[in-house]
Amino acid sequence: MSWFVLIVSGVLEAVWATALGRSEGLSRLGPSVVFFTALAASMAGLAYAMRELPVGTSYAVWVGVGAVLTVLYAMATGQEPVSTMKVVFLAMIVGGVVGLKLVH
């Protein structure tokens, strides 16, 4: 269950990171509300997962999932250019996350 919650928390990290960018310095209400809500839920999920999983592993997985999804979303929406090397390096992050799960 902790791994599932950790992955969901990583997804929520991507949500709050994207919302923060769209909030224009927390000056837009809608994205700001999404940011604070997703931030609180993401942190709560990370804290829950850390009850059973090591801190280092939890944090690495949380950041890795969040970072990859944030970049993929930005690429999909045209906010960030797509390149073969970016995709390769994102795949390496995903591989690292999977590796951490396998060695746990």
Q: Which pLDDT score, from 0 to 100, does residue 104 have?
A: 83
pLDDT tens digit at each of 104 positions of the chain: 999 999 999 999 999 999 999 999 999 999 999 999 999 999 999 999 999 999 999 999 999 999 999 999 999 999 999 999 999 999 999 999 999 999 98
Q: Which pLDDT score, from 0 to 100, does residue 70 have?
A: 98
CA distances from 68 to 25, 40, 73, 87 (A): 23, 20, 9, 9
Cα distance from N-terminal residue to C-terminal residue, the chain:
14
